[in-house]
Amino acid sequence: MRRSSSTLTRLLGAVAGLALAVAGAVAVAAPAQAATLTQVTGFGSNPGNLAMYAYRPDGLPANSPAVVLLHGCTQNASGYFANSGWQKYADQWKFALIVAQQPSGNNANSCFNFFEAGDTTRGQGEALSIKQMVDHAKANFAVNGSRVYVSGLSAGGAMSAVMLATYPDVFAAGSIIAGIPYRCATSMVNAFSCMNPGADKTPAAWGDLVRGAYSGYTGPRPRVAIWHGTSDTTVTPLNGTESRDQWTNVRGVSQTPTSTSSLPANTSLEVYGNDDVRLYRVSGMGHGTPVDPGSAAEQCGTAGAYFLDTICSTYRDALFFGLNGGGTNPTPTPTATLTPTPTPTVTPTTPPTCVTASNYAHVAAGRAYQSGGYAYANGSNQRMGLYNTFYTSALKQTAPNHWVIGC
């Protein structure tokens, strides 16, 4: 029987990955008329007690690629499938989607347990459950075992790093969106500090953690794309840089980019080695998966909580994975040097009537102040709880610079 969540694990679930909202279900077997997202049962021993969903586009040929998707906290499989934009490109370029779902019984807020050693070690827990999903897809959907990829947001992004580290023999490449480096967090307690303010290690130290995940492995290591918003206060941008250090070291390339480019939505792209690692920095973006709703070739997704209207990260990742069947990649505008845009200071002059955010964000936005480690609402001086990114409050504005708790 799967272990039940402790109080501390529930707290992390509520906080540590704070990403991703939505809801749903998913589909698998070959459809008679239209493909749909469907739950798959009996895919293995499933020691992590996860749910598996799959999507197989109509006309999916044998030996097709597959992408594993990992949602963030408070999200589920169908919501991430519906809003991230992956279905569009799966239909267009014919590849399968495997969507893992974390039940609330494992984690109160449905976060993948990226901080638990028993779930982040090769051959154990949630990591093994996800690997068994891939095995099932290879055996039953005729998936090409050499063309399997993984992508996730926040807690799912951290879990993507787990899968790339523990199963380099399974995944050819992956995408880490607003995640943290592999094995930065090894307990619920230090998961908080890894998320914010982040941990600074040498590239070699980070790389050793990955190499230790599969001791003795000498085969190829996956290529990695990293996405991070410069205004992310939930999982701070330092994590994007440290993830870059980890995976460039694992791939054996320099931490100095071989090229830099300017992309839409104030996004910068740094490429390392021979396209071994990519680091996308989305200027001014907070915590979420970058999407760009619309019907153009480079547009995808639906904007909402933790799906942020900026640039279609799914399109870029699909090209990075080579899922377009050898089509032409978009040509970015090269720049001589990369000058990251400083994180803007959030100081709205006309705040919304009602805002739900972390206490840290409320203080940063001028809706509250901090004293003695606690946050207090401006005007009413009501105590909101600890001043950090893990305590969330709803504040209502009742007069200029006067806020009260509750909406």
**Where in the sequence numbering do the catalytic residues fall?**
154
Bridge partners, residue 51, by sequence:
101
